[in-house]
Chains A and B, each alone.
Chain A
Amino acid sequence: MTTVLDPTSEQAPAARERATRPESLAGLTVGLLDISKPRGNVFLDRVSERLTGLGATVNRYTKPTFTKPAPVDLRHEIATTCDAVIEALAD
């Protein structure tokens, strides 16, 4: 038997439960986070129209750069002002 040292962070995270899915978007505030990839705004404009049509209030946010995680302040603002968020993470 060989004993080795764990090379990992040893932080095997406990499974996190998802937030409860809303029954309907009507009356809710939905955040749209543009990660600053080219033409992401075009896609989000259309998503915004559709969400508004469903009765949701849409807040728009933009990351300073797509290469880095969203700043803590921005994440905090979204978390405290929105009921749901859609992140346009795509090329």
Chain B
Amino acid sequence: MMSSDLPPVPPLPDGLVAVVKRDCPTCELVAPVLSDLHERADLTVITQDDPHFPAEADWVRHDADLALSWHHDIETVPTLLQVSGGVGGQRTVGWSRSEWEQLSGLDGLGRGLPDWRPGCGSLSVDPAHAGELAVRFSGSSLRSRRVELASLEDEWEAMWDRGWSDGLPVVPPTEARVLRMLEGTTRDPSEVVAVVPPSLVECTVEKVAVNAVMAGCAPEHLPVAIAALEAVCTDEFNMHGVLATTMSVGPVLVVNGPVAGRIGMNSGINSLGQGNRANSTIGRALQLVVRNVGGGHPGGVDRATFGSPAKVGFCFAEDEAGSPWTSLAESRGWRADQSTVTVFTGESPRILADERSRTPDSLTRHLAQALQATVSPRMMLGMDAMLVLSPEHMARYADAGWSRDRFMEELSAELTFDGDDLLAGVGGIAAGLPPTAAGQKIPKFRPGGLLVVHSGGPAGLFSAIIGGWANGPRGSDPVTREITP
């Protein structure tokens, strides 16, 4: 950010300055002190509301547009400051006889007043004004083109007409909303997050924030959306291919670590469904960036035969507290105290219902049957998958003392098949493995190609299976990124 882009900071008058408003009982209380300080120490008063408070005098200046208060970070009235060169130095807030005497260097202030009274909120931080003031005084720091919607235009219709929506309503990204969204990150709005396919456009933090507003995100969701965008815009994840493929896949986002709880993500009942703001909007923000910044439109570069609801946005959290296992992120080399998002190229979830298995062995064999069918039961090694174990299914493994490693080992054994049974033409089906697979044992998934997560509500003997897409250098690898403020 070039400082020259910002409006100049208006200087405070030098010397002793008090910022006050009449609509503050403490300011009223100290009105005699203000007059006393003017006479003895040449105090200047900046008043936020009544221009003649505490007196109609040339030493009382009206901060009518609150520019002084906003730029000099006045949060409380009264604030007493020592100003030098137009900039505030030492300051004290509220009324404290000892602090006011120390700051002014005078004794005997406010005889008859209580020793201490708290102040009131400054008008410049009043929620009724703060958004508007931020736009007025810092909005010019935003680089995006301003688009004026005519007064007779319905905002939703206007944004739809411009091609900015995935088909659902979007929140108008006004300057005030985008500035508020940007409070969710410490990153500079002009910082480039990623080069977004298919048009390979550099996307700034600000553009992510604009699209996050439209998606319905809260500011605290922004860092997750930024990390997810970084993750998909890598050569390993291959967002271009994921968008362009005829297969019905999109980025599936799994959030691990402390951030999930902090921003209220759902890892329980209906975790893969609707109803939680973070789950519903973070994945959508990512997809809107790909659409609007990257230029990826269905029928354009997006050639999916069916697409899927996952292409609107698919994001959920792992239930780590309720899991006896290490988390997905830990299995991928991250620490439990790190917040991460893992992106996986997946379809919509399907269910394996198993209400009869009482042993981990039975359930594992059944899960293997269902997992074999992802993409095609006759396709081996070429595609990854994600398995979302529900708490009731996880209980089978917890009761038996199986670790994640034990589970993966046993499941891998169940997911290894005789190539002879899956050869092209066997069973009267043309699709299948090449003749070289004859006599071979063939695993369904490559090492690391099955991602296992624990999530979902406490009742229901089901697990969810999310089929994948072409893996490795010829397609997409899962990618995990740390979520930073």
Contact = CB atoms under 8 A, between A and B. Distances in A.
B408 interface: no
B293 A8 contact: yes
A5 B475 contact: no
Interface in B19-76: none
Interface residues on chain A, size class: 10 to 19
Task: Specify the main secondary structure of chain A where it touches its partner.
Answer: loop
Contact of A7 (B246, B288, B473): B288
B148 A5 contact: no
A33 B173 CA distance: 43
Contacts of B172: 2, 4
Nearest to B170: A7
Contact of A4 (B149, B203, B206, B246): B149
B149 A7 contact: no
A67 B173 contact: no
B121 interface: no
Interface of B is mostly: mixed
B145 A5 contact: yes
Nearest to B203: A9
A3 B178 CA distance: 12
Contact of B174 (A2, A65, A67): A2
Interface string B156-185: 000100001000000011110010000000
Nearest to A11: B201
A1 B144 contact: no
Contacts of B207: 7
B214 interface: yes
Interface in A3-35: 3-11
Greatest chain B CB density within 10 A among A5, A7, A64, A68 is at A7
B145 A68 contact: no
Given A11-B199, A67-B470, A67-B475, A1 B288 contact: no
Interface in B129-149: 142, 144-149
Residue of A4, A64, A69 ringed by the most chain B CB atoms within 10 A: A4
B400 interface: no
A4 B173 CA distance: 5
Contact of B145 (A1, A6, A64, A91): A6
Given A7-B214, A7-B293, A11-B201, A1 B150 contact: yes
28 contacts: A1-B148, A1-B151, A2-B149, A2-B155, A2-B174, A3-B175, A4-B155, A4-B174, A5-B142, A5-B145, A5-B146, A6-B145, A6-B146, A6-B210, A7-B211, A7-B288, A8-B292, A8-B293, A9-B203, A9-B292, A10-B144, A11-B199, A11-B201, A65-B474, A67-B245, A68-B238, A68-B240, A91-B246
Interface of B: 142, 144-151, 155, 159, 164, 172-175, 178, 199, 201, 203, 206-207, 210-211, 214, 238, 240-241, 244-246, 288, 292-295, 470, 473-476
Top 8 closest pairs, chain A to chain B, by CB: A67-B241, A5-B144, A6-B145, A9-B201, A65-B474, A7-B292, A7-B210, A1-B151
